[in-house]
Amino acid sequence: MISNLQDLVAPLTEAEYLDALLAGKMLLRRSSGENRFATMLDWDTFRKVIESDIVPRDKLLVTRQGQKVPEKFYRDQGKLNAARLASLVSQGISLSVKKVDSYVPTLRALCDNIETRVGERVNAAAVMTTGEGGALRVHYDFYDIIVVQIEGSKRWRIYDPPVVNPIKEIPMPAKPPGDIMFDEVLQPGDFLSLPSGYWHHCDNGPGRSLHILIMFKPLTGSAGLKALLSQLLTEPIFRVRIGRLAGEERAAHEAALKTYLIEKVGQISLSELLAHGNKAAAHADSDDY
């Protein structure tokens, strides 16, 4: 059973992995012959989670060749139709569940352990693919990820150079600017650690593939700006209808706004943000995968 960060990254030590994480270094570790990740999640458990219809609609992604499948093909009046979804699976699709750790206690316990070790919010996602292609088109992730191949195989093609410290608010370019730097097929038991910002694409191998993504979600300075904005929205000075001001009144209001902003920006504390931000983010209904 994989229950903690050390179990997950072995035969690396936890310290070795954390050094690579902080350095933004990609790591590939092949299975020694035994699929030690098999107990983390299996197809039957994953299927039951989906068919139970407990996964919110915005957390379940159904795609074919990187394109979203319209919900009318697997839902009836918003409710999941398990028979229709099973038919799609037999034809070749991808099923992705965001925050799958919310529905699989052992995965949540693992993510909780990793959070205590790295001091960052950690979630898991699971991706099952049948047929050709992958779940998504070529893209990069906003966060560092660990990929563990559970069942079947996936061909990963990764491009260089990466986008440095990407965040969700920056528009993603249409395509990667560089060349393929990594072209490998992950088999059951294989482990890949991929830093954020690396463009990549996956193609399914023969049969059904299932892999898990462990996603590290550190706070950035943008979180401080969001927190500040939410505070400013409650202040009367930021709710004045500026289009109705003119002349000296508008100039005075502009000066007052700037003075107030400078004061508030000066009060931002990164230490307080780190102390309270991860807890708030854990309850936020936002997704970045």
Q: Is residue 236 reached through a cis peptide bond, with omega within 30 degrees of 0 on the bond before it?
A: no
Summarised one tens digit per residue, pLDDT across range 232-247 is 888 999 999 999 999 9
Output the CATH code of domain 5-217. 2.60.120.650
For residue 14, the tally of other CB atoms under 10 A from its CB is 17
Q: Report the distance separating Cα 217 and Cα 5, nearest Å.
A: 15
Q: Report the distance separating Cα 21 and Cα 122, nearest Å.
A: 14
Taking alpha carbons only, the member of 44, 68, 45, 48 closest to residue 58 is: 68
Summarised one tens digit per residue, pLDDT across range 190-245 is 999 999 999 999 999 999 999 999 999 988 888 777 778 888 888 999 999 999 99
Please provide the average confidence, as pLDDT, over all residues in the chain.
91
Q: Could you give the C-alpha distances from 185 to 30, 134, 153, in angstroms and in order? A: 10, 13, 7
The pLDDT value given to residue 213: 98
Contact between 53 and 81 (Cβ < 8 Å): no
Helix (H) or strand (E) holding 273: helix 270-283
Contacts of 244 (CB under 8 A, 6+ apart): none
Q: Report the distance separating Cα 48 and Cα 54, nearest Å.
A: 10
Domain locations in the chain as residue ranges: 5-217, 221-283
Tokens of 19: 């050094």
The pLDDT value given to residue 173: 80
11-35 mean pLDDT: 94
Q: Report the distance separating Cα 143 and Cα 139, nearest Å.
A: 12
Residue 276, pLDDT > 90, answer no
Taking alpha carbons only, the member of 77, 34, 78 closest to residue 55 is: 78
The DSSP output letter for 69 is P
For residue 100, the tally of other CB atoms under 10 A from its CB is 26
